[in-house]
Amino acid sequence: MCVRVAVPVPGLDLLTYAVPAGTPTPHVGARVVVPLGARSVTGIVVEHIADAMLPDGKDLKPLRTVLDPEPFIPSDVVELARWTAEYYAAGPGEAITAVLPPKTRGERADAHKTARVVSATAAASEPDLRVTTRQREALDLLRAAPQGLASADLARRGVSSDVVTRLVRAGLASVRQERVDRDPFDTSVLEATPVESGRTLTIEQDAALTRMLALFRTGTFKAALLHGVTGSGKTEVYLRLSRAVRDAGRRVLMLVPEIALTPQVAALFRQTFHERVAIQHSALSDGERHDQWQRIRRGEVDVVVGTRSAIFTPLRDVGLIIVDEEHDNSYKQEESPRYNGRDVALVRARRAGALAVLGSATPSMESYFNAMSGKYDRIVLERRILDRPLPNVTVVDMREEYAAEGPDVILSRALRDGIAARVDRKEQAIVLLNRRGYATAIFCRQCSGTIDCPNCSVSLVVHGQGASRRARCHYCNYTARIPAACPTCKAPYLEQMGFGTERVEAQVKEQCPGARVARLDRDSVRRKGALAALLARFRAGEIDVLVGTQMIAKGHDFPRVTLVGVVSADVGLGMADFRASERTFQLLTQVAGRAGRGETAGEAIVQTIYPTHYSIQLACRQDYSAFFERELHFRRAMRYPPVVSLINAVVRARTYTTAMDDAATIVARLREMDPGLTDYRVLGPAPAPLGKLRGEYRAQFLIKGTNRRRMREALQSIVNARPELARRTMIDVDPLSVL
């Protein structure tokens, strides 16, 4: 008997190994150690092959070690990973080994944490024991805890390790090692989350729940788009639906787009499902992720809350998969395998005969297109809870602000006054700018040159102020001191232009000196636990104004927030990406929806130099239907998704000429394979918008068509014929960005 094994090597196909005589054939999903060249690697068995199916004379290397007597990964998850690898043009090993948690990918995979547990023995119950006062106090504690106490608990109660040692020597206590699951749940978030039992559903919520329960009870795969305005109570519907699914004996996967949302959502689910909830995301420590994954695998969990990778957790008998904020770009992985967690969730639900619910106030064009064509059920929540009004939106034309106050103004007069008024009234405000750093570029007034990254074709971004200022590349993380003179012409006339969240934070502090201001972006929450702590402080009212990137724009519920300000609302409209208008509409609608979720009405102030652009105008009116029709007209005219399928391919090379020549070769072969343009069309090649990245030049071409499988297979057949070129070619199926 032979087995096919997926190994964690990019682009490598499944490998076949012989099962040594006397070794039981490992199950599909088991981990095995196999030889690969001069080294050994841990892979996953994905298929059994009879010897008769092998070519004559095939000399196979044998497995070295079988790590698991039973499947380590359930077979349905293995098959889901194989589908992901095929659909997204990745190596099967990249997809299948990616589902493993940390600390389970090597030959020594026992990553369980243990603790010393001390128990009283039967001898400790004898009368007239000759022990010291401290030993007697320790025995009293142990006798009151039949299951024993961890030595750390005893130490906290004043019982030293020396006292325990003497009790063990006297035969009055025993010590054992016991596995302890590391708990990743943030107790501060759990305690701060209000308990809301017995809440009465609105008429819309009740109708939505009834309809989705009917879909679930068919016992077959169904997909529903829950299109609810911000603040309409989608989360409460998720909770009620999940409880019904659990009561029916099945389990729930709840996906959220950002790690920042996980603590809040997990806390709500723990109120309902208590210890039967697990979380999965990359911000957990390796040990926490390992323990949570093992709890899921052992069947100790009914609900899993996590980010995109949670779709591969070994949860059995899944009956419901919820993808909250389904439109969000964070569901798309930017490295191989470049899967979209939302779309993989639909595939898993189909294979499990489960209900998939995609929720959003601003659905993706693809999901809304599918709903309007009848592929998904469309369920609508048009009103906010308690009929609270949507925020009043004011659009500020920044051209008028520049004329009145000069070209360096960051906060408009309306936004400054609005923030000051909220601080005076003890309310809260959010200020959004989807750009990190203090200044976006450094330029020379004499030669007009900029200080660029030596590895990427972008300007360096200034971070920090004063002596701590540094120039950093947001792509390769190259960092340098800010020079005193221009590197090109040596003139001492360097200036900073543009601004990011650090500069906005400084401006708010300067213009509202009494305000308590904090910043939420990737730079400010790098330390473990910093994100949850900052959000908890804001929720508790310890911060007046929160400045941040898109991390603050979605999913959060802050009842005290009555003002949202958007700085440079058009920051994404100038990008060479067909989704620029869609992303702008979604971001503005989502962040405006953070205001007015409590008893006080909300307001949003949107600053832009393009006040008449349809994405900004329609976002301010919260008119999704009108936006969809306008955007779909553009997509039809230009033949972009959801009207057609799209593959983005980028060829990397050390020189510009090599990148362009190799891309041109691939494009020529693609056109030869479909001369009648029946399956697809190819655009390009051309230099990629980001022409150089991490020291390599990049050439790009796009494939558009209605036969996605044919498009993908044609491209793969060409690049796979040249392994060296395949390693330098990035294939992105269904891209969310073409930059």
151-160, 283-292, 654-663, 686-695: range with lowest mean pLDDT: 283-292
Distance of alpha carbon 347 from alpha carbon 335, whole angstroms: 20
User: What is the three-state SS of 247-275?
Assistant: HCCCEEEEECCCHHHHHHHHHHHHHHHHH
- Residue 55's pLDDT is 66
Last residue of a domain, one of 98, 131, 151: 98
Coil, helix or strand for 454?
Answer: coil
Considering the domain architecture, whether residues 245 and 176 belong to the same structural domain is answered as no
Is the N-terminal amide bond of 685 cis, ω within 30° of 0? yes
CATH number, position 716: 3.30.70.600
Position 397 confidence tier, pLDDT thresholds 50, 70, 90: very high
360 and 326 Cβ atoms separated by less than 8 Å? yes
Last residue of a domain, one of 586, 604, 634: 634
Position 248 confidence tier, pLDDT thresholds 50, 70, 90: very high
Last residue of a domain, one of 387, 405, 427: 387
Q: Minimal CA–CA distance to 81: which of 46, 109, 42? A: 46
Position 241 confidence tier, pLDDT thresholds 50, 70, 90: very high
For the ranges 4-18, 54-68, 167-181, 659-673, the maximum mean pLDDT occurs at 659-673
Q: Is residue 452 a part of any domain in this protein?
A: no
Position 192 confidence tier, pLDDT thresholds 50, 70, 90: low
Considering the domain architecture, whether residues 522 and 626 belong to the same structural domain is answered as yes
Structural domain containing residue 600:
392-437+499-634
Q: Which two tokens stand for residue 550?
A: 């898109």
Distance of alpha carbon 12 from alpha carbon 705, whole angstroms: 27
Considering the domain architecture, whether residues 578 and 530 belong to the same structural domain is answered as yes
For the chain, how many structural domains are there in total?
A: 5
What does pLDDT average to over the chain? 90
What does the DSSP 8-state code read for residue 385? G
Position 575 confidence tier, pLDDT thresholds 50, 70, 90: confident
Q: Minimal CA–CA distance to 558: which of 581, 529, 537? A: 537
Distance of alpha carbon 503 from alpha carbon 572, whole angstroms: 19
Considering the domain architecture, whether residues 382 and 354 belong to the same structural domain is answered as yes
Q: Is residue 739 a part of any domain in this protein?
A: no
Euclidean distance between the first and the last CA atom of the chain, given in angstroms as a whole number: 47
Distance of alpha carbon 434 from alpha carbon 725, whole angstroms: 36
Position 111 confidence tier, pLDDT thresholds 50, 70, 90: low
User: With 90 as the cut, is the pLDDT of residue 10 above it?
Assistant: no
Rg (CA), the chain: 29
- Residue 421's pLDDT is 94
Position 551 confidence tier, pLDDT thresholds 50, 70, 90: confident
Q: Minimal CA–CA distance to 708: which of 685, 730, 733, 677? A: 733
Q: Minimal CA–CA distance to 256: which of 332, 323, 184, 169? A: 323
Considering the domain architecture, whether residues 514 and 401 belong to the same structural domain is answered as yes
What does the DSSP 8-state code read for residue 488? T
Considering the domain architecture, whether residues 140 and 250 belong to the same structural domain is answered as no
Q: Minimal CA–CA distance to 20: which of 62, 70, 69, 65? A: 62
Query: Rounded to two decimals, what is the model's pTM?
Result: 0.88
Q: Minimal CA–CA distance to 219: which of 349, 381, 34? A: 349
Distance of alpha carbon 448 from alpha carbon 218, whole angstroms: 66
- Residue 684's pLDDT is 93
Position 553 confidence tier, pLDDT thresholds 50, 70, 90: confident
Distance of alpha carbon 140 from alpha carbon 525, whole angstroms: 45
Position 640 confidence tier, pLDDT thresholds 50, 70, 90: very high
- Write out pLDDT tens, residues 13-30: 899 999 998 899 999 999
Distance of alpha carbon 650 from alpha carbon 687, whole angstroms: 9
Q: Is residue 470 a part of any domain in this protein?
A: no
What does the DSSP 8-state code read for residue 734? S
Considering the domain architecture, whether residues 569 and 600 belong to the same structural domain is answered as yes
What is the pairing mode between strands 377-381 and 428-432? unpaired
- Over residues 301-310, the mean pLDDT reads 94
CATH number, position 576: 3.40.50.300
- Over residues 299-325, the mean pLDDT reads 95
432 and 567 Cβ atoms separated by less than 8 Å? yes
CATH number, position 49: 3.40.1440.60
60-64, 77-81, 357-361, 464-468: range with lowest mean pLDDT: 464-468
Position 169 confidence tier, pLDDT thresholds 50, 70, 90: very high
Q: Strand pairing partners for 692?
A: 697
User: What is the three-state SS of 621-664?
Assistant: CCCHHHHHHHHHHHHHHHCCCCCCEEEEEEEEECCHHHHHHHHH
Q: Is residue 478 a part of any domain in this protein?
A: no
CATH number, position 165: 1.10.10
Question: What share of residues in the chain are helix, strand, coil (percent, to 5)?
Answer: 35, 25, 40
Share of the chain above pLDDT 70, in %: 95
Considering the domain architecture, whether residues 539 and 415 belong to the same structural domain is answered as yes
User: With 80 as the cut, is the pLDDT of residue 191 above it?
Assistant: no
Considering the domain architecture, whether residues 630 and 725 belong to the same structural domain is answered as no
Considering the domain architecture, whether residues 160 and 306 belong to the same structural domain is answered as no
Q: Is residue 471 a part of any domain in this protein?
A: no
699 and 650 Cβ atoms separated by less than 8 Å? yes
- Residue 426's pLDDT is 94
Enumerate residues 6+ apart whose C-beta is below 8 A from 386: none
Considering the domain architecture, whether residues 600 and 510 belong to the same structural domain is answered as yes
Position 700 confidence tier, pLDDT thresholds 50, 70, 90: very high
Enumerate residues 6+ apart whose C-beta is below 8 A from 490: none
310 and 251 Cβ atoms separated by less than 8 Å? no
- Rounded to 5 degrees, φ, ψ at 147 are -85, -5
User: With 70 as the cut, is the pLDDT of residue 110 above it?
Assistant: no
Q: Which two tokens stand for residue 5?
A: 């094994």
Coil, helix or strand for 459?
Answer: strand
Q: Is residue 37 a part of any domain in this protein?
A: yes
Helix (H) or strand (E) holding 587, with range, is helix 580-592
284-293, 377-386, 573-582, 668-677: range with lowest mean pLDDT: 284-293
Q: Would you list the DSSP string of 296-334?
A: HHTT--SEEEESGGGGGS---SEEEEEEETTT-GGGB-S
Residue 361: Cβ-neighbour burial (10 angstroms; 0-12, 13-18, 19+): buried
Q: Is residue 669 a part of any domain in this protein?
A: yes
Is the torsion defined by CA of 618, 622, 628, 631 positive or negative? positive
- Residue 57's pLDDT is 56
Q: Which two tokens stand for residue 50?
A: 């009879």
Distance of alpha carbon 58 from alpha carbon 56, whole angstroms: 5
Considering the domain architecture, whether residues 281 and 341 belong to the same structural domain is answered as yes
- Write out pLDDT tens, residues 29-74: 999 999 998 899 899 999 998 876 676 656 789 999 999 989 999 9
Q: Is residue 484 a part of any domain in this protein?
A: no
- Write out pLDDT tens, residues 417-463: 999 999 999 999 999 999 999 999 999 999 988 999 999 999 999 99
Alpha helices per DSSP H over 99-201 = 133-143, 151-156, 161-169, 187-192
Number of helices (H), then strands (E), in the chain: 22, 30
- Residue 649's pLDDT is 97
Q: Which two tokens stand for residue 25?
A: 């054939």
